[in-house]
Amino acid sequence: MSPPLVLAITGASGAPYAVRLLHLLLAADRPVSLIISTHGYRLLQTEMNIGSRDELRVAVGTAAWDANVTEFDDGNRGASPASGSAPSAGMVICPCSMGTIAAIAAGTSRSLIERAADVTLKERRTLIVVPRETPLSVIHLQNMLRIARAGALVLPAAPGFYHRPTTVAALVDFVVARILDHLGVPQTVVPRWSAGDGPT
């Protein structure tokens, strides 16, 4: 089995991105180490009426969850994602709050999510953060620049429109498809651009 991808969900707005990403990773049979912060669970409840681990499991598919998801408590900084010796295919924080980005930029590692991100950077593994904040202050921009210089990929939840989306789900898929592309996970949920004649 391939090493797991660490997927973290924090309290920034954007729960549909997180749920769709998890669903497609599991559909691709990718093992996932899942960490959801307290605010992340509140976000899932507020934006998608998913109030518990069991409800999230049902939302993404129980069989796929049972086969591929290992969940870790965000308060357990001794869990395996906190160690560089634990195998990992990288980490995605989706959505990623500005507080989490600030903690990663400062290296404070107050939670498992923050420690796992710190480990991902120091081990030179792929770290993708998906912020959804507007407008951005100078502090936000400086923190994103710091983590980008440290090796993170900052992928804002900013969907495009050239594929002519007609639903919210299509906008969500645009962002999730870009995340999957950068993880090297094949996806066909969004048509690809073809020079001269638009998306294909």
Spatial CB neighbours of 40, under 8 Å, sequence gap ≥ 6: 8, 9, 10, 11, 18, 74
- Tokens 């660490």 — which residue? 6
- The pTM score is 0.95
Which CATH number belongs to the domain containing residue 115 in this structure? 3.40.50.1950
Give the tens place of pLDDT for each residue, 96-121. 999 999 999 999 999 999 999 999 99
Question: What integer best gives the mean pLDDT of the chain?
Answer: 95
Q: What are phi and psi of 8, to 5 degrees?
A: -115, 140
pLDDT of residue 89: 97
Range of the domain at 12: 5-199
- Total of domains in the chain: 1
- Concatenated DSSP letters of 135-176: S--HHHHHHHHHHHHTT-EE--S----TT---SHHHHHHHHH
Spatial CB neighbours of 28, under 8 Å, sequence gap ≥ 6: 185, 186
pLDDT band at 200 (very low <50, low <70, confident <90, very high): low
* Residue 196, pLDDT above cutoff 80: no
Q: What are phi and psi of 60, to 5 degrees?
A: -100, -5
Give start and end residues of each alpha helix (H) in 49-158. Answer: 53-60, 62-68, 98-106, 112-122, 138-149
- Tokens 């997180």 — which residue? 18
How far is Cα 83 from Cα 117, in angstroms, rounded to an integer?
10
Q: What are phi and psi of 162, to 5 degrees?
A: -70, -20
